[in-house]
Amino acid sequence: MTTVDAPHSTRSVLLTVAEVVDETADARSIVFDAPQNFHYLPGQFLTLRIPSERTGSVARCYSLASSPHGSEPPKVTVKRTYDGYGSNWVCDNIQPGDVVEALPPSGRFTPKDLDDDFYLLAAGSGITPVMSILKSALSEGVGKIALFYANRDENSVIFGRELRTLAAEYPHRLAVQHWLESLQGLPTVDQLSTLASPYRERHAFMCGPSMFMDAAHKGLASSGFPRNRVRREIFVSLVGDPFVDVTEAEVSETEVTEAGVTESPVHEDDATAVVELDGETHTLTWPRSKTLVDIMLAGGLDVPYSCREGECGTCACTMTEGEVKMENTEILDDEDIADGMILGCQARPVSDHIEVRF
């Protein structure tokens, strides 16, 4: 049995496994007892702390496949991947009664309005966050939903029975199209464009392997989907340890005054950041060597972040004025950057005045 005596981070939550469900031969859902005050949005993910003999632990992000609306307990669905240490460990080891350490739910792969009409695209285990959005929109919204779901073969379809049940329950709102590589080959850009064309007035959400995502992204663009109506989710394995608390010494330069009060010094070359977060505006001094996440943590703000490596996208925000430089931007595409999107954990100031909105 896996037990966690105490969390490794002040941000961590401890989750007790209520049930383990075999979805397919290589995919399992981990259902948790819902702890008090555990809140998440449709499409968000959990970062789990997984034991490792080599490094002590590794961090892996897994989408919540459950809907936060109604009585459904939170669950993540994990599919084995070749040489995937995290996914194989979860599938081989986690049992009911185990206690798992996780960071709070994160992610921006969430609809703004569940009443919208949606075109959802998923491949393989990419169905997990899409399923959360689909169930939430059906139960809480009024719009229509079309799902395109690609898999290797019929035995690889995750949530097949649940999708059939939902399609029967909402016959006038939900249309599900399965695509099997064993019968139809891999979907091409042209095929995806043709299939997406009737839905180009809707909001699109897509998740899956990189090859599928690239083809779907190009197919939606070719079909005439506006860029601002397309959202995609990308996960990579995290290298660092997001379960280690960031100390004030790591995020700010401080000095002690004669009165014994510790404060952040202001230097001539510092920039100014005006940050809009949760409807409130904060003005912060931004040293050139620090990231946006650094200065927000130093300022006591509840900044959304997980990995601090530029890999998970949790700290993504929109820059409305100014210029920054970033080391790692692989999770953002050219259109994201053109729209002013930046990663708070990678952004360092270039201009003297910068305004951002979370």
Segments of the chain assigned E as strands: 13-24, 27-32, 45-52, 56-63, 75-79, 99-106, 118-123, 145-151, 174-180, 203-207, 230-233, 255-256, 262-263, 271-277, 280-286, 316-321, 324-325, 341-343, 348-349, 353-357
Same domain, residue pair 88 and 127: no
Q: How confident is the model at residue 256 (pLDDT cuts 50, 70, 90)?
A: very low
Residue 32 domain flag: yes
Task: Answer whether residue 113 shows pLDDT above 90.
Answer: yes
**Domain stop point among 72, 106, 140:** 106
CATH of the domain at 338: 3.10.20.30
CATH of the domain at 135: 3.40.50.80
* pLDDT, mean of residues 103-132: 95
CA distance 124 to 134: 16
Residue 113 domain flag: no
Residue bearing the bigger pLDDT, 146 or 267? 146
Residue-level pLDDT at 261: 40
Task: Answer whether residue 312 shows pLDDT above 90.
Answer: no
CA distance 80 to 60: 13
Residue 294 domain flag: yes
Residue-level pLDDT at 260: 40
Same domain, residue pair 164 and 188: yes
Q: 3-class DSSP state for residue 168?
A: helix
Task: Answer whether residue 307 shows pLDDT above 60.
Answer: yes
**Domain stop point among 60, 80, 106:** 106
Q: How confident is the model at residue 266 (pLDDT cuts 50, 70, 90)?
A: low
Span of 65-74, 83-92, 103-112, 240-249 with lowest mean pLDDT: 240-249
| CA proximity to 205, closest of 229, 185, 186, 187 | 229
Same domain, residue pair 227 and 122: yes
Exposure of 61 in the CB half-sphere (CA atoms within 13 A): 26
Q: How confident is the model at residue 183 (pLDDT cuts 50, 70, 90)?
A: very high
Which distant-in-sequence residues (6+ apart) come within 8 Å of 81 by Cβ? 87, 88
- Structural domain boundaries enclosing 316: 271-357
Same domain, residue pair 96 and 126: no
Same domain, residue pair 35 and 95: yes
Q: How confident is the model at residue 331 (pLDDT cuts 50, 70, 90)?
A: confident
% of the chain surpassing 70 pLDDT: 90
Number of structural domains found in the chain? 3
Q: Tokens 């992000």, residue?
A: 61
CA-derived radius of gyration, the chain = 21
CATH of the domain at 30: 2.40.30.10
Same domain, residue pair 189 and 282: no
CA distance 250 to 211: 38
Cβ(145)–Cβ(117) below 8 Å: yes
Q: 3-class DSSP state for residue 355?
A: strand
Residue 252 domain flag: no
**Residue 161, Cβ density class (10 Å: 0-12 exposed, 13-18 middle, ≥19 buried):** exposed
Same domain, residue pair 167 and 77: no
For residue 250, give the DSSP letter.
H
Residue 112 domain flag: no
Same domain, residue pair 78 and 40: yes
Residue 241 domain flag: no
Task: Answer whether residue 112 shows pLDDT above 50.
Answer: yes
Residue-level pLDDT at 254: 41
Same domain, residue pair 204 and 184: yes
* pLDDT, mean of residues 285-297: 93
Same domain, residue pair 85 and 177: no
Cβ(110)–Cβ(41) below 8 Å: yes
**Domain stop point among 233, 255, 288:** 233
Which distant-in-sequence residues (6+ apart) come within 8 Å of 304 by Cβ? 106, 314, 315, 358
Residue-level pLDDT at 259: 40
Residue-level pLDDT at 12: 87
Residue 2 domain flag: no
Cβ(132)–Cβ(147) below 8 Å: no
Residue 35 domain flag: yes
Task: Answer whether residue 320 shows pLDDT above 80.
Answer: yes
**pLDDT digits over 184-213, tens only?**
999 999 999 999 999 999 999 999 999 999
Alpha helices in 197-338 (DSSP H): 210-223, 248-251, 292-298, 334-338
Question: Nearest 5°: phi and psi at 309?
Answer: -115, 0
Residue-level pLDDT at 5: 65
Same domain, residue pair 145 and 216: yes
And the tokens for 113? Answer: 């309005």
Residue-level pLDDT at 258: 43
Q: How confident is the model at residue 35 (pLDDT cuts 50, 70, 90)?
A: confident
Same domain, residue pair 222 and 313: no
CA distance 213 to 121: 9
Question: CA 204, 207, 212, 215 torsion: positive or negative?
Answer: positive
CA distance 300 to 279: 16
